[in-house]
Each structure stands twice: as structure tokens, then as C-alpha cells.
Amino acid sequence: SLQVRFVKRPTGEPTADTFEIGEAELPALGDGEILVRIIWLSLDPYMRGRMDDKRSYAQPQALGAVMQGGTVGQVVESRNPKFAEGDFVLGMFGWQSHAVSDGAMVRKLDPAVAPLSTWVGVMGMPGLTAYIGLLDVGEMKAGDTVAVSAASGAVGSVVGQLARIKGAKKVVGIAGAEEKCRFVVDELGFDACVSHRSASLRDDLKAACPDGIDIYFENVGGPTLDAALSLMNPFGRIPVCGMISMYNTGPSTEGPDRLPSLMRRVLTDRLKIQGFIVSDRAAQHQKAFIEEVGGYIRDGRIKYREFVTEGLENAPRAFAGLLRGENFGKQLVKVSDD
Ligand code: NDP
């Protein structure tokens, strides 16, 4: 099996020496075990957080171990009665070409329901994150103006399209590159999209949201959060899903303390700012999400874009690129053919 192992905690961006790529001998299958050939590896921003040895909602990634990650694969050998050779499965098999598993926490996939790759994307964890963050945490209702950052990405693209389906007054994206902004408006049907790279970000966002923002779906933090916060309407909600702009650098401690003015704003405008982790609420929403969003995907009301890197050996570079915005759509690694 080819493996990507985590060997050095990065300071700043992950680099080539963060990882070690090498072959490993697979153990013989024990009773109840399956051998899985990995087809799709999902690269996700949370992986950067796990590289730090800090207290968080999950344990840090262990040094010397195979990088953790969500994958879709195919069973090539089974000594577990629940799985047959040829079954397609979803599991946390990590950055490797093959994995041996006891089958716990492994879900069988029906390739007729949706393309295999979507189970780690729009039909999987990122799609569910959008669903929970917008509807449950964000308590979205028809008539809301919804703004979302990282708008062309795996989570953001679903947030905006769902908001439109649910009757938002206005859906506004925030993205980096101009072509991402164009895609979000022309292909995904957002009303507007502004660039976080523009010096006039706040004015641009204000022009796009003349009646203020009711929900700001937070994916990036930094100046984008500042701009959105200044436009929040009374009783506005900010589901805090991610803060990717600081994953490599950590939070900035420079400058004057603006916490008191933030808290005053929270009080006077009765804002609800709530962090959430998809796994906390997944069980509760999973079934409705698959039914509802699966339907929207089949009838074309939700579109998705994938950004495929070929070959496991290119995963480290693709992952560093994800944290820089080099991906355009859900970042996947094609490990083998489906
Ligand atoms: P995306 O597909 O959106 O890819 C990441 C995007 O982040 C990049 O393409 C880039 O878009 C943007 N980005 C990167 N650096 C910066 C920066 N410095 N400033 C502004 N934008 C930046 O990833 P996902 O959809 O998978 O994840 C989006 C967010 O959701 C992340 O913060 C992630 O951690 C979070 N998340 C949280 C979950 C939870 O349970 N709370 C679960 C899943 C994801 P651009 O080029 O437009 O800047």
C-alpha cells in the first residue's frame, strides 16, 4: 500500500517535509476484516487544524501515522459477512491506496444513487455541514439576506444554493478569484458575489446587500468577517463554520482590543454567533439531508463542482493549495480508478 504519513508538525503552511510518502506492507486479513482499495480521497481544511498539537474538538493527528481523511473505496477482499467483494464503501481510511478495516463506521454506498465522489462532497460531510449550518444553526427563513464566504467551495456553494431554494431575499457570495465569483453567480445562481481580495470589500458587500445581512455563514474569518459583521441586521445569525484564513497562521493578536466593541454589537443588535461542528448534529439531520439535497442534485437545482488532483503522491501539494484557495470546487484526490 502507498501511504502518506504525517511526520513533522508544520509552522505556517504545510510543506513537503510535513509528510513522508512510502510503501507499507498490508497485514493479512483477520476474521471480520475487509481490504479496501481507495478510489477517492477528500482533502478538507480541518486537516490543517489537526496538524497542530493544540486542544480542539478532535485529537491532533499523530506523528508517524497515516494522515487521516475521508475516502470512498471498493472492497477487494472480505472476511466480514456485512461486506462483499466489489462493494463500494465510505470510510475514514486516510491518505493511502489500500486499507484494512474491521468495518466499524464504514458505510456501504449505492453507486446508482449518486456518483461515488459526491459522498465526500456535496452528498457527504461538506454538504451536510452547509445544510446544518444554514437551516439548523442559522435558522434560515424565507426573506433572509444570506451572505457566505468561500462561496465557490464545497460548503459555501451548497449554502448559497440551498438559501436560494429556501426563499432567501438575496444570496451573496464572497470568494477570491474573479472566475470563482462569476461561477457563483452565472452557474450557481447567487444574486451577487464580491471578492475578499478587493480593497473595497466592505463597500462592495454593502452594495450587494443594501438591506443588510440576516445570516452571514462564516467560513474564513479575518477581514471578510469584519466586513460582514458591520452589515449584520438586528437578530442576525452567524453560524461559525470555519476560519480558514487563520488555519496556517493562528489568530492575529496584533492591534487594539476590539472584543468590547464586538460584544456591544452582539448585545445591541441581538446577534447570535454560534460555532458548530457537523458531527455533533449529523445523526439528527443525515436522513433528511440525503433525501432533500439528493433530490435537488438529481433535478439540477443544486450544482456542484469538483477539483480533482490525480495521484496520491500529489495530495500534499494539493492540500497546501486548498489552504491558499488554489482549488476551484470540492478538492479531491483520485487515488485509483472507479
Ligand atoms: P473550500 O472548498 O471552500 O476550499 C477552501 C477555500 O477557502 C479556498 O478555495 C479559498 O477560496 C478559501 N480561502 C482559503 N484561504 C483563504 C483566506 N486567507 N481568506 C479567505 N478565503 C480563503 O473548503 P470547504 O468547503 O471544505 O470548507 C470551507 C470552510 O468550512 C472551512 O473553513 C472549513 O474548515 C469549514 N468546515 C467546517 C465544518 C464544521 O463542521 N464546522 C465541516 C466542513 C468544513 P477563495 O479562493 O474563494 O478565497
Angle between helices 201-208 and 222-229 (to 10 degrees): 40
267-278: per-residue pLDDT in tens? 999 999 999 999
Ligand 1 atom nearest to 175, measured from its CA:
47
If you search the block for the grid coordinates 484494512, which residue do you land on?
Answer: 100
* pLDDT band at 241; cut points 50, 70, 90: very high
Q: How much is the average pLDDT of 202-220?
A: 98
User: Ligand 1 center to residue 153 CA distance, Å?
Assistant: 7
**How far is the centre of ligand 1, averaged over its atoms, from the C-alpha of 61 (Å)?**
20
- How large is the C-alpha radius of gyration of the chain? 20
Within 10 angstroms of residue 63's Cβ, the number of other Cβ atoms is 12
pLDDT, residue 253, reads 78
244 CA distance to ligand 1 centroid (A)?
5
Percent over 90 (pLDDT), the chain: 96
* Residue 43 pLDDT greater than 90, yes or no: yes
Q: Give 277 Cα–ligand 1 centroid separation in angstroms.
A: 14
Question: Can you tell me the mean pLDDT for 130-151?
Answer: 98
Q: Which of 176, 280, 168, 291 shows the shortest CA–CA distance to 222?
A: 176
pLDDT of residue 251: 86
Contacts of 28 (CB under 8 A, 6+ apart): none
Work out the percent of the chain whose per-residue pLDDT is above 70: 100
Neighbours of 28 (CB within 10 A): 9
Specify the pLDDT at position 328: 98
Termini Cα distance of the chain: 17
Instruction: Provide the residue type at 130 as one letter.
Output: A
State residue 338's pLDDT score. Answer: 86
Domain locations along the chain: 2-121+305-334, 125-278
Per-residue pLDDT at 252: 81
Assign a CATH topology to domain 125-278: Rossmann fold (3.40.50)
pLDDT one-digit tens code per residue, 280-289: 999 999 999 9
* Rounded Cα–Cα distance for residues 134 and 118 (Å): 20
* φ and ψ at residue 327, rounded to 5 degrees: -75, 150
Residue 143 has pLDDT above 90, yes or no: yes
Confidence of residue 102 (pLDDT cuts 50, 70, 90): very high
The pLDDT of 202-230, averaged and rounded, is 97
Say if residue 290's pLDDT is above 90.
yes
Residues 119-143 have a mean pLDDT of 98
Give the pairing of strands 145-149 and 213-217. parallel
Whether residue 254 has pLDDT greater than 90: no
71 — pLDDT class (breaks 50, 70, 90):
very high
Nearest CA to ligand 1 atom 7: 150
**Average pLDDT score over residue span 139-147:** 98
Record the cell numbers describing residue 203, joined without a space: 463597500
Number of residues written out for the chain: 338
C-alpha cell, 213: 445581512
Q: Which atom of ligand 1 is nearest to the CA of 275?
A: 41
Q: How far apart are CA 156 and CA 236, in angstroms?
A: 18
Atom of ligand 1 nearest to the CA of 329: 2
Average pLDDT score over residue span 230-253: 95
Residue position matching grid coordinates 462564516:
218
Architecture of domain 2-121+305-334: Alpha-Beta Complex (3.90)
How would you list the strands of the sheet with 170-175, edge to edge? 192-195, 170-175, 145-149, 213-217, 232-240, 272-275
In this prediction, residue 162 carries a pLDDT of: 98
- Encode pLDDT of 187-196 as tens digits: 999 999 999 9
Which pLDDT belongs to residue 3? 98
Indicate which residue's Cα is closest to atom 13 of ligand 1. 325
For ligand 1, the distance from its centroid to the CA atom of residue 233, given in whole angstroms, is 24
